[in-house]
Structure 1
Amino acid sequence: MASSGKSKLLCLDSLPVEILYRILDHLDGHSIILSFRYVCKKFAAVTNTYSRYELDFTSVSKTDCHTICRTIKPENVTGLSLSNGDMTPGQISLFLSLVNIDRYTKLRSLTLLDIDDEHLQRLLSHLTGSRLLTSLSIKFRGTESAVASAQVSATISQATLQRLEFDMRSSAVSQIRWSTNFTLHYLKITECTFEQFCIILDHSPNLRTLVLRTGISDSIHETISKLYPQLTSLSFNDAGIFQPLGELKSILSITPSLKYLKVIVLISSECLFDGSEWESIIGAYLPRLNRFEFFFTLPNITNYNSLDLQSRMARYRTPFWIETKRWNVVCTFDPTMHRILVYSTPMCLISYSFKSRYRKKSISIPFTITNFKMDLDIVSAMSVPVTTEQQPISSNYDWFENVTDLTVQIDGLNLPDPFDLFPKSVDPSFIVKLSLPILCYARSIRNTITNVVALLERVYNVRSLSIFYRRSRNCPMVDIYRIYAVLPPHIIHLTIEIMSVDDMEMIFERLVYLTSFTFVLSVHTKSSTAYIEWLRDNITDFTHVIDGNRIYVWLGNYRKKRKEFIVGSKRMKLSQNS
């Protein structure tokens, strides 16, 4: 910046503290404490006084968890996310042992994932009477209990709570004591009955958004004359096998103010495919609807008829769809899965399963992709929406791009060359999470492992890897050990089956950046004791959870312990890596 003939350089550390606070509002707590804080003394002082920390521990290393808990003053934390998931097993118990939860007096947002009743009760009892909490999200590792439902009831009755995500089914919903006037604006639950749907709306005059992970769990036989105009957004994220369209009509007829509607039905009935019927319902009951996202599949199509597909598509080519609403719809046939798909674009699925046909052999490779973007020619760079019938899906699935999460089901009997394993638009360099369920057979085990090894060499940016074996009788493990030798060394989370303690040691020698892992014990393993003893003897800092035949481990400052031995009168230490 030029001023009075002199050049001045505006440095970040010269900014007022208030501006730095606003910058920190856009950074996560992990970056603030572990990076920004160490730039200079001023920044360190700013992080000590900053009072709007939103801490997300759901994917941090155990070492970083210790550092953050030790550094940040609890009263400066406004948001907190904890998880006992596969990547951070035992985290919630560790967190409660490191901090005094009663000092977290400024919490406005709390997320608890894979939590058990004991820890939920302890955390929510701390929040009873809080006038600051506005957002609460709870996901249980097992099934929610009556105790948990009662505790949640007491919490959500607080006057300030505006957002609630609760992983509960209709049986738990029935145990919630709904107060007269909930302040909720956003509610996400697993499912509810139609009666519970109406009760929730009766007691939530401010509710704008309702998300059901599945759908209405019972048949609808009654007619409701009361309207619920407060609801503006309604989502059924995975309605499974949906009831007749008339039942969905019963729900929509009492929510006339909807501006957004989302319906995903992976096993649909014929009636859901009828664009004319949807046009009639929307016109009659949803005059304000401006965004409609849907995905319907009609399975078990044995006799594909392109004329039938054109007939279905014609019902989405009316002025209502193209001119009035300007909604894009695709109708296509999937020959590998024998199903018809009708969906709005961009595709509203989070995860999608399909098969990619191998060109040189009469086999198909099953895939599941997550966190993808869709690039359809019919919607790219268009100012006016176009509804189209797409030709039967190609074996390459050209419209999928930037896939980051991929599951490849590998059948060892008919595994093709790895070069053709990926769909055309799935770039291996984008994959950060990879799952490989593998069927191994004795007669083809070497070819199977060769293909898996080649696949692993292509996904060089993968950070989370899961490998599941299903072996036929007499299938040797010696070839499977070849996979251990080519595991990408930069992996931070691993799920894999092991046969012995030696397997565990082999993996630790290879993967030096691991922050968590899940070891699936072989069916021949009777006890996990030897594995836990090895960890205690060799790893300096870890927490673990045992669930059935799985050992979930969260690693701290991972390094092998140093063994002591006596030489003469002197005590010496020798690293096991020596």
Structure 2
Amino acid sequence: MESSFLLTLPVEIVHRILDCLNIQDIIFSFRYVCKKFYSITNIYNRLKVELSNHSSDTRIHRLYRIISPENVRTLILRNSYYNNELNDIDYFFSFNDIHRFTGLRFVRLDSLTEKDFRTVIHHLTTLSTFKSLSIFDRRILKNDTIMFLSKVIALQSIRELDFDISTRVLNGISWPNHGMYQKLNLKLCSYKQWCHILHHSPNLRIASITKLEMNNIAKDVACNTYKQLTSLTLNCIQCPIDQVEMLLASYSSLISINLTLNIISSFANLQRFSQWEYFIGEKLPRLKTVRFRISTRISRSQDFANIKSIIAAFRTPFWLQHKCWYMRFNYVIDGEGAKFIINSSIDGYVDMFQEFESGLISYFTSTRKDEDGTKLQNVWNVIVNLPRVTQAICSRRFTIPKYYLFDNVIQLGLDIDHFDDWQRSSSFECLSKLINLSQLKEIYFLLSCKATFEASKINTILEKAMNVRTFGIKNNGSLRDHMENECAVISPQIEHFIIRSPDTCTMKVIAEHVEHISTITFSCDWSSPTTWKKIIKWLMEKEKKFSVTDDYQSIRIWMKDTSDI
């Protein structure tokens, strides 16, 4: 053990390692490895104690007797008033004097009894180094408890607050005139409360509100400016876009915004949002990062020229070159009608295996960082749930349009969640009426059920989609029965085969039975240098050429000789 690498590390590095372990592993395992680790553990002052309403056990009791309260930095207490039996939290308060926990920096309180809540909060008011408080409790607290909470918020050391509390408690808090907290997360807040908090928060830099009630926003809101705020996240906002603009115009120093807007009024709101190039340039000149999701219900009879004009507004040099902000646009037909959704995107690239808005039919396109916005026409992708579309037609909840809704659809995803229906010939006939199959270049087989992959069914579609050269499949247990036979009969027009989430055995069988295809790409949702270790060893033994992406999420195999590798 004396030659162990860990023993040669500085104590500070060992403490970093302990930061990744839970308290029981530290106290009952690591501590007893050797004398040096024993002494290191005794001075480790970043312990994290997490207690819930589970019945107490002797191992927990032993833990409390060993730890030094002053070495506890994080304390998490959950749900003590849901359990009438003696539990960990009860034992914690009976065995420990909360005032001995002088090193606390971070505390999270979740649904404690009022007595326990007040005991902890009262103690926090005595600490000069306390930094972060999280409270998740919608009950109405007593006035004296709220008074102690106000004192914690007024601490000079406080830097972060995370509250999921009732609006009545939020109203009862006496916010300090010069609050030192720099980050604030609120679950629920009215616009009036938000303005009051901002007025008392000169040091607030980062704010997040899950649900901001905008019912009483004043028309002269722009007169109130709060230049201290640099990052703002607003979710679940349902209001006209002009009110959102009035709100954001008050924060001229914003560097980052994250918005989720469910617009409940007219399509005109989206048209106004498409003009934000001018709003941002005038009102938010320092803005560098934008993330948002904006959705609205629209009529199926909506003029598609208007939709295309909205998309075109995000293809200007301001969005693509100056700001490098990219968008993904979804037009979704579901059982209730249609909706149009705009999402921000890191690079605008579309992965058919990603999760998209569910519905009968989902069309989507995007702006990308490598495109010339002045020349590129809208290239569309579509995901069709054939079983649901067929059922909707039979029940007269959906009528096939007389013309193709969007031209230039190049990618098709077949979302199959019911095995029995999609293989019928009527389903393929329906598909040809929804999409111009002759324009397709790629087809993806997306399984939500345990259907068995049958290449002959895909070949039936390929006969009408002669320009398709890429075929992909999301493996959801579908590649199992007679897999080698199915892979061998994939249409010879396919040049590129893409498989999502395969196992090593599946990869080997596919690579041996689709030699008429130029390339095979296997991809997964995780990334690790060891992800493809087994298949790489096998490929090297078979002398097959391959490459792995930098993020380790996919590996491509060349089945035919090429000088370009």
User: What TM-score do you get using the length of structure 1 for normalisation?
Assistant: 0.57
Q: Any conservation in 1 of the 2:325–2:346 contact (CA below 8 Å)?
A: no
Q: Give the counterpart of 2:191 among 182, 190, 194.
A: 194
Q: Any conservation in 2 of the 1:169–1:189 contact (CA below 8 Å)?
A: no
Shift of residue 420 of structure 1? Answer: 4.9
Identify if the C-alpha distance between structure 1 residues 87 and 150 changes in structure 2 by more than 3 Å, giving closer, same or farther. closer
Structure 2 counterpart of 1:103: 100
Q: Give the counterpart of 2:450 among 416, 419, 425.
A: 419
Identify if the C-alpha distance between structure 1 residues 112 and 312 changes in structure 2 by more than 3 Å, giving closer, same or farther. same
1:233 paired with 2:231, answer yes
Aligned residue pairs, count: 388
d(CA) in 2 for partners of 1:417, 1:101: 51
Q: Give the counterpart of 1:36 among 22, 25, 30.
A: 30
Shift of residue 88 of structure 1? Answer: 9.9
Mapping 1:31-180, distance limit 5 Å: 31-57=25-51, 65-66=60-61, 68-84=63-79, 92-140=89-137, 142-147=138-143, 148-180=145-177
Q: Any conservation in 2 of the 1:115–1:139 contact (CA below 8 Å)?
A: no
Shift of residue 252 of structure 1? Answer: 1.4
d(CA) in 2 for partners of 1:16, 1:425: 47
Could you tell me which runs of 5 or more consecutive residues in structure 1 were left unpaired when the two chains were aligned: 1-7, 359-363, 365-375, 398-409, 429-457, 459-578
Task: Write the letter of the residue equivalent to 1:273.
Answer: L
Task: Write the letter of the residue equivalent to 1:42.
Answer: K
Identify if the C-alpha distance between structure 1 residues 59 and 245 changes in structure 2 by more than 3 Å, giving closer, same or farther. farther
Percent identical pairs in the alignment equals 28
d(CA) in 2 for partners of 1:353, 1:119: 44
Shift of residue 28 of structure 1? Answer: 4.3
Shift of residue 74 of structure 1? Answer: 1.2
Structure 2 counterpart of 1:292: 290
Q: Which has the higher contact order (CA 8 A, sep 6+)?
A: 1
Mapping 1:190-339, distance limit 5 Å: 190-224=187-221, 225-239=223-237, 241=238, 243-269=239-265, 270-274=267-271, 275-299=273-297, 301-303=299-301, 306-336=304-334, 338-339=338-339
Bigger mean CA deviation after superposition, 155-164 or 328-337: 328-337
Shift of residue 291 of structure 1? Answer: 0.6
Compute the RMSD of aligned alpha carbons.
Answer: 4.4
Q: Any conservation in 2 of the 1:83–1:112 contact (CA below 8 Å)?
A: yes
d(CA) in 2 for partners of 1:237, 1:194: 13
d(CA) in 2 for partners of 1:31, 1:295: 42
d(CA) in 1 for partners of 2:224, 2:72: 43
Identify if the C-alpha distance between structure 1 residues 137 and 106 changes in structure 2 by more than 3 Å, giving closer, same or farther. same
Q: Any conservation in 2 of the 1:332–1:393 contact (CA below 8 Å)?
A: no
d(CA) in 1 for partners of 2:326, 2:81: 39
Q: Any conservation in 1 of the 2:69–2:100 contact (CA below 8 Å)?
A: yes
Report the 3-state secondary structure (helix = DSSP H, G, I; strand = E; otherwise coil) of the residue aligned with 1:173.
Answer: helix
Task: Write the letter of the residue equivalent to 1:124.
Answer: I
Task: Write the letter of the residue equivalent to 1:345.
Answer: S
Q: Deviation per CA, 1:477-522, whole angstroms, max 9, x where unpaired?
A: xxxxxxxxxxxxxxxxxxxxxxxxxxxxxxxxxxxxxxxxxxxxxx
Q: Any conservation in 2 of the 1:268–1:296 contact (CA below 8 Å)?
A: no
Q: Any conservation in 2 of the 1:209–1:233 contact (CA below 8 Å)?
A: yes
Shift of residue 20 of structure 1? Answer: 2.1
Report the 3-state secondary structure (helix = DSSP H, G, I; strand = E; otherwise coil) of the residue aligned with 2:127.
Answer: coil
Q: Any conservation in 1 of the 2:81–2:111 contact (CA below 8 Å)?
A: no
Could you tell me which runs of 5 or more consecutive residues in structure 2 were left unpaired when the two chains were aligned: 348-354, 387-416, 423-446, 453-471, 478-500, 502-565
Q: Any conservation in 2 of the 1:396–1:425 contact (CA below 8 Å)?
A: no
Structure 2 counterpart of 1:489: none
Mapping 1:510-549, distance limit 5 Å: none
> Which protein is bigger by CA-based radius of gyration?
2
Identify if the C-alpha distance between structure 1 residues 119 and 245 changes in structure 2 by more than 3 Å, giving closer, same or farther. same
Structure 2 counterpart of 1:394: 383
Task: Write the letter of the residue equivalent to 1:32.
Answer: I
Structure 2 counterpart of 1:402: none
d(CA) in 1 for partners of 2:63, 2:385: 45
User: What TM-score do you get using the length of structure 2 for normalisation?
Assistant: 0.59
Q: Deviation per CA, 1:66-100, whole angstroms, max 9, x where unpaired?
A: 55434322110111222229999965445434533
Mapping 1:337-352, distance limit 5 Å: 338-346=338-346
Report the 3-state secondary structure (helix = DSSP H, G, I; strand = E; otherwise coil) of the residue aligned with 2:250.
Answer: coil
Mapping 1:2-13, distance limit 5 Å: 11-13=5-7
Identify if the C-alpha distance between structure 1 residues 427 and 419 changes in structure 2 by more than 3 Å, giving closer, same or farther. closer
Q: Any conservation in 2 of the 1:146–1:175 contact (CA below 8 Å)?
A: no
Shift of residue 196 of structure 1? Answer: 2.6
Report the 3-state secondary structure (helix = DSSP H, G, I; strand = E; otherwise coil) of the residue aligned with 2:233.
Answer: strand
Task: Write the letter of the residue equivalent to 1:13.
Answer: L
d(CA) in 2 for partners of 1:46, 1:83: 30
d(CA) in 1 for partners of 2:250, 2:32: 56
Shift of residue 167 of structure 1? Answer: 1.0
d(CA) in 1 for partners of 2:385, 2:18: 43
Identify if the C-alpha distance between structure 1 residues 315 and 238 changes in structure 2 by more than 3 Å, giving closer, same or farther. same
d(CA) in 2 for partners of 1:69, 1:427: 47
Q: Any conservation in 1 of the 2:81–2:112 contact (CA below 8 Å)?
A: no
Shift of residue 112 of structure 1? Answer: 1.4
Shift of residue 257 of structure 1? Answer: 0.3
